[in-house]
């Protein structure tokens, strides 16, 4: 292990050991950082009987700082094993952050792909968009899924097509019948979002990636990030996070794909809540498609929106969700394994009020209801489902969506709250 790597990992270990964490809001069954900052899930995969979950992680303070890849793993989504950070910003091509990426398991080895971020200190006039930044696609491989000794550049900024800004990132690897595809989110120099698609026939030495498609959005977004592709037989869906300025939105959703594997039709949100971003999918050992996302959004830790910052940590990941296709539409449902996670599972079928604390889930049948948990309230009436976080929301506005006729499962986990229709499609 390089000296720089050892030093950075030692500093991270010291932060995890000595940071004082107030446990009041620390979730019981959502993945949260040991300390400091968490954002995008990365490298989600099923490898040697375990789900490996990596995530953007800055251990030194509950704010976005020097980004590592945190690492945890589970066999059952109930018991988790926390590992030391898998990747550290220890090379000249990633020294300002190991950004989002993905993983592929092949030949009993686990290979990661990620974005190495570097800001150019010499380019003081650079805004980091058109100049002053380098974002490079890097790969590394592990024999055991925990230690990734050698890093290798597979695509440098000079390899990208012309007309792009400095923002080209978040490689997602998709297996294909004749090799692998790589999706990269991007922003053009004239401020349009989109993606690049590369292809390689073999993963040997990290692959030899050839550009096969370039797509630019013409519907007002200036950046696409966290691209993903979901494949269900002949049906394909393209997932991404679209950033727009008028109005200012950071939206995580998906399109259907046409026969050319390009987005088509409407953009459907994955989730209607205020804290959902950077979703990523993977297949488990039984072939299910699972999804995790960051319970946050760009800028969400600013302006007092996350009171847990004063407790030594900030943010969490969503609970895993199962994605299926029904009548040509994506369906989202809670992971069945979650039934045994919560301390209490309470059926709610009638219109009434409740005050409950700690960790529990609610099974809510169809029809009107009203639930209060401290300052937070949920209700369904007149065909509208409303979640109002009240003072617990730290400035977040109530969420109103059409009520679902099948009922809901709502998970309370000290600070995270997730409500999922029992089987839901586009909202």
DSSP state of 89: -
Please name the residues in contact with 420: beta carbons below 8 A apart, sequence gap of 6 or more: 321, 332, 333, 334, 408, 409, 410, 411
User: Using CA of residue 298, residue 304, residue 307, residue 310, what is the dihedral sign?
Assistant: positive
CA atoms lying within 13 Å on the CB side of residue 104: 21
Q: Where are the beta strands (DSSP E) in 33-143?
A: 36-47, 50-58, 68-74, 80-87, 98-106, 109-119, 133-142
- 157 in Cβ contact with 165 (< 8 Å): no
- 416 in Cβ contact with 316 (< 8 Å): yes
DSSP string covering 345-402: EEEE-SS------SEEEEEE-SS-EEEEETTEEEEEETTEEEEE-GGGGTTPPPEEEE
Enzyme catalytic residues: 40
Give dist(CA 382, CA 219) in Å, integer.
Answer: 33
């Amino acid at each position: 292990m390089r000296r720089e790597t050892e030093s950075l990992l030692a500093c991270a270990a010291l932060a995890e050991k000595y940071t004082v964490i107030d446990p009041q809001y620390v979730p019981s069954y959502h993945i949260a950082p040991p300390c400091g900052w968490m954002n995008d899930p990365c490298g989600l995969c099923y490898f040697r009987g375990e789900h490996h979950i990596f995530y953007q992680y800055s251990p030194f303070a509950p704010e976005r700082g020097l980004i590592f890849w945190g690492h945890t793993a589970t066999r059952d989504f109930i018991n988790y094993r926390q590992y030391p950070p898998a990747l550290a910003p220890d090379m000249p091509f990633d020294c300002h952050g190991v950004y989002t990426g993905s993983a592929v398991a092949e030949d009993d080895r686990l290979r990661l792909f990620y974005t190495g971020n570097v800001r150019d200190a010499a380019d003081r006039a650079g805004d980091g968009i058109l100049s002053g930044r380098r974002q490079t696609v890097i790969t590394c491989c592990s024999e055991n899924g925990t230690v990734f000794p050698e890093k290798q550049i597979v695509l440098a900024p000079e390899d990208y097509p012309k007309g792009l800004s400095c923002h080209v990132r978040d490689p997602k690897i998709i297996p294909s019948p004749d090799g692998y595809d790589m999706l990269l989110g991007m922003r053009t120099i004239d401020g349009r979002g989109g993606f690049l698609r590369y292809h390689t026939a073999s993963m040997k030495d990290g692959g030899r990636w050839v550009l096969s498609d370039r797509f630019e959005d013409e519907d007002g977004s200036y950046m696409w990030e966290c691209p993903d592709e979901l494949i269900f037989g002949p049906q394909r869906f393209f997932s991404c996070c679209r950033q727009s300025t008028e109005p200012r939105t950071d939206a995580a959703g998906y399109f259907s794909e046409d026969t050319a594997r390009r987005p088509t039709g409407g953009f459907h949100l994955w989730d209607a809540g205020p804290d959902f971003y950077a979703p990523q999918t993977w297949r488990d050992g039984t072939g299910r498609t699972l999804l995790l996302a960051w319970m946050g959004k760009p800028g969400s830790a600013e302006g007092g929106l996350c009171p847990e910052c004063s407790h030594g940590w900030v943010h969490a990941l969503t609970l895993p969700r199962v994605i299926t296709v029904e009548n040509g539409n994506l369906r989202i449902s809670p992971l069945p394994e979650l039934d045994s996670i919560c301390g209490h599972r309470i059926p709610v079928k009638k219109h009434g009020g409740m005050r409950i604390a700690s960790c529990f889930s609610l099974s809510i049948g169809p029809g009107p209801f009203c639930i209060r948990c401290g300052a937070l309230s949920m209700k369904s009436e007149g065909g509208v489902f409303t979640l109002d976080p009240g003072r617990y929301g730290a400035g977040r506005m109530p969420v109103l969506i059409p009520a679902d006729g099948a009922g809901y499962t709502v998970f309370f986990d000290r600070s995270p709250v997730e409500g999922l229709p029992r089987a839901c499609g586009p909202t």
